[in-house]
Amino acid sequence: MTAFNRRALFGAAAAAATVWASARPALSQGTQASTPPSGPFALPPLPYAFDKNEAAIDARTMEIHWRFHHGAQVANLNAALRDHSQLGAMPLDQLLMKLNEVPEAVRTAVRNNGGGNANHTMFWQIMGGAGGEPTGELAAAIAQDFGDVATFRTRFNAAANGVFGSGWAFVTVTPAGRLAIVTRPGQDNPLMDGQRVLMGNDVWEHAYYLRYQNRRPEYTAAWWNVLDWSKLSERYAAAKAGTLSI
């Protein structure tokens, strides 16, 4: 390698490091969005510290995932709706349920970024716990539809691990409280098919790669250790009451 090429390579590496450093807020800055939204949707704050889910997800992954991946989706959704104020005024769940009515020029952007916003907002809400087992009506529903918690977990993990490429595994819930496991590619959400979501796991590589690399089954197995079953029970009750949104 010539001296010129070495200097160019080192210069490019230094520039990249500078850009990354400037975009890398310290963990101590907390989980509040750093800039106000420039549109109808805002990046919701995490309900816990970045290191709350260390039993399954490292703090750095949580920060990057929330701040940059989810944050970009919120910004892109607002940009797509800049000239569509009526759509921007809709609740997110209604926007996704009426996706086919969105103008074709922005439909893909709304699908990807609106779906990503809904998916991630739900995802943050159901974590931050200590795992364990469901109780009450949710436990009874799992027993009714899957036999027992162990079978439910095995089937859900199989679905999550079987997603080809990037996507999500979800548990949908009907107003009658019946549960089903489904998967969706990309940032698609069951709301787009008129279904409500009880819970879901993100199996895009950015959700787990820093710790697990290509070992997705290790991530999906560990993820149960940080679920907050009290939050999931609240979502289940809301679904039956008709008040569950995203």
The model's pLDDT over 101-125, given as tens digits with 9 standing for 90+, comes to 999 999 999 999 999 999 999 999 9
Those residues with Cβ within 8 angstroms of residue 196's Cβ, 6 or more apart along the chain or in another chain: 172, 173, 174, 190, 239, 244
Cα–Cα distance, 58 to 230 (Å, whole number): 22
What's the whole-model pTM score?
0.87
Q: What is the mean pLDDT of residues 149-176?
A: 98
Q: Which amino acid is at 128?
A: G
Whether pLDDT at 169 is above 80: yes
Cα–Cα distance, 69 to 181 (Å, whole number): 25
Mean model confidence pLDDT for the chain: 89
pLDDT at 38: 80
pLDDT band at 32 (very low <50, low <70, confident <90, very high): low
pLDDT at 26: 41
pLDDT at 31: 65
pLDDT at 35: 57
Among 130, 93, 118, residue whose Cα is nearest residue 225: 130
pLDDT band at 227 (very low <50, low <70, confident <90, very high): very high
**% of the chain exceeding 70 in pLDDT:** 85
pLDDT at 24: 42
pLDDT at 16: 34
Q: What is the mean pLDDT of residues 149-167?
A: 98
For residue 134, how many other CB atoms are within 10 A of its CB? Answer: 19
Q: Report whether 224 contacts 131 (CB < 8 A).
A: yes
Q: Mapping DSSP to helix (H, G, I), strand (E, B) and coil, where does residue 101 land?
A: helix
Cα–Cα distance, 150 to 129 (Å, whole number): 19
Question: Could you give all domains of the chain from N- to C-terminal order, each with its CATH number?
Answer: 58-246 (3.55.40.20)
